[in-house]
Amino acid sequence: MRLGVLDIGSNTGHLLVVDAHGGAAPSPASSYKEPLRLAEHLDSDGAITEAGIAALTNFVGDALELAEDKGCEEIYGFATSAVRDAVNADAVLEHVLANTGARIAVLSGEDEARLTFLAVRRWFGWSSGRLGVFDIGGGSLEIAAGSAEAPDVAWSLPLGAGRLARTWFAQGRPDEDALRELRRSIRADIARQAGSLLRGGPLDHAVATSKTFRSLGRICGSAPSSEGLYVRRMLQADVLESWLPKLVEMSREEISALPGVSPDRAHQVVAGAFVASAVLDIFDISELEICPWALREGIILDRLDKLSVLG
């Protein structure tokens, strides 16, 4: 069947159209995305602004039209941390429904971590043993680990690259004291719950997903997307540590010129690098393998599993 997955993230709205069949990998048929930057369309009270609501509504309407043109039998829409954390989330989603007919579900942080874990498990398989999955989004960091298809630990922290960039880098590069405090606060937030993962035993395979980790991997020397899905891509802890002070000193224009960095996300790279460095250090990981599948694929696989049970 042909499915459309409408992903409303903190940075980007993304429609992925796939041909999906039980027992087979979802095959991408079409993709449409727009840089919504909802996390930057928040007012001082934590509400998504009128401009943000209009951008979201227009994107959803355009995406639904494309999904229909591509013959989707089913369209599943979901939103993550930017909408989840907005004080007017219900009103925003009611506005989208009234103007487009699309119902957008809000995923909890735990569900986001769980579904991303499912996608990574299916991509790498059982040979990964005890698997750890780390995903830096625009608004949050998701962490999950386990030895089965469902993780035994899964949680979400408000440590997304976009959120931190907006809080710490809005006025340009922070001074040394502020950077030290940023580093300290990120590591304290992650370490607070790290024991729930570490008590389960060492990870056999540590994996990262999504755009921030992919960009950091490219900066640190991993293969470009042009080499295909099946090239092994790694993010080495020591290489990232050597890059971090250089990234801190770079301008946004210099960062956007680096391999794998899009201009609309260049302002988030340093914040994302601080989070990635903390993950590697706190969980004593020397390298992360970067998985091409993430939350959208997890949504599709979960939907196929449910249809299989019903069938």
Provide the CATH number for the domain around residue 261.
Answer: 3.30.420.150
Same domain, 134 and 262: yes
Residue 272 located in a structural domain: yes
Burial 130-155 (b: 16+ CB within 10 A, else e): bbbbbbbbbbbbbbbbbbeeebebbb
Task: Please state, in angstroms and rounded to a whole number, the distance separating the CA atoms of residues 170 and 42.
Answer: 14
Q: Is the pLDDT of residue 6 over 90?
A: yes
Assess if residue 310 is contained within a domain.
no
Query: Do residues 149 and 281 share a domain?
Result: yes
pLDDT attached to residue 39: 84
121/255 same-domain check: yes
CA triple 276-281-287, angle to 5 deg: 70
Q: Tell me, yes or no, whether 158 lies in a domain.
A: yes
Mention every residue, 6+ apart, whose C-beta is less than 8 A from residue 26.
3, 18, 19, 20, 297, 300, 301, 304
Domain harbouring 35, CATH code: 3.30.420.40
Helix axes 237-249, 269-282, angle to 10 degrees: 150
- Residue 306 resides in a domain: no
* 140 three-class SS: coil
Residues 75 and 128 in one domain: no
pTM of the model: 0.95
Residue 309 reports pLDDT greater than 80 = no
Domain that holds residue 20: 2-106
CB atoms within 10 A of CB 204: 12
Residues 119 and 244 in one domain: yes
Tens-place pLDDT, residues 94-108: 999 999 999 999 999
Q: What is the mean pLDDT of residues 169-185?
A: 95
Supply the pLDDT for residue 310. 57
Tell me how far apart the alpha carbons of residues 251 and 245 are, in angstroms, rounded to a whole number.
12
Same domain? For 143 and 280 the reply is yes
Has residue 261 been placed in a domain? yes
The answer on 172 and 291 residing in a single domain is yes
> Any idea what the Cα angle at residue 79 is, between residues 112 and 156, rounded to 5°?
30
In the chain, the number of structural domains is 2
pLDDT value for 307: 78
Does 300 fall in a domain? no
- 311: in domain: no
Closest to 110 measured CA to CA, from 159, 157, 158, 154: 154
